Amino acid sequence: MSELALFVTAFLAATILPFSSEAAFLVAISNDMPTLNAMLAASSGNVLAIIFNYSLGYFLYTKTKTKLLSSKLGRLSYEKGHKYGYFALVFSWLPLVGDPLTIVAGLVRLRFVWFVLIAGSLRVLRYYFLTLMV
């Protein structure tokens, strides 16, 4: 598996699509891809994808702002998202819940720098810990 294929797989896996970047990462390492190359390809693909997800959420907010904030539930959800948003990012590396959390981060307009630092570093650490298991 080449670095480009791993990059694309990691990117797609960090979107809503049902891919497993962890499995692709482990296959790449088991097929003698240098660990550093695999880390760079998978991490950069995954981090770029969460930036894409954040941008998608940011765009959705501008399109749905009046609908979102016009209801009581919408206002409450928006306020809770701001209150607990950064803490929720701790779970952004998990399968199933992590990718939607990165969209919600853009929707509630969490600060982009903090978003990338928290969610991005957790994505990189996930691959690092996988290398320790091999």
CB neighbours of residue 88 within 10 Å: 20
Total number of residues shown for the chain: 134
Q: How far apart are CA 63 and CA 68, in angstroms?
A: 10
Predicted TM-score of the model (pTM): 0.86
- What pLDDT shows up at residue 104? 84
Q: How far apart are CA 134 and CA 5, in angstroms?
A: 20
- What pLDDT shows up at residue 69? 67
**pLDDT tens per residue, range 23-82:** 999 999 999 999 999 999 999 999 999 999 999 988 887 777 666 667 776 677 677 777
Which tokens go with 90? 């701790």
Closest CA to 44 of 21, 16, 18: 21
Q: Is the pLDDT score of 130 beyond 70?
A: yes
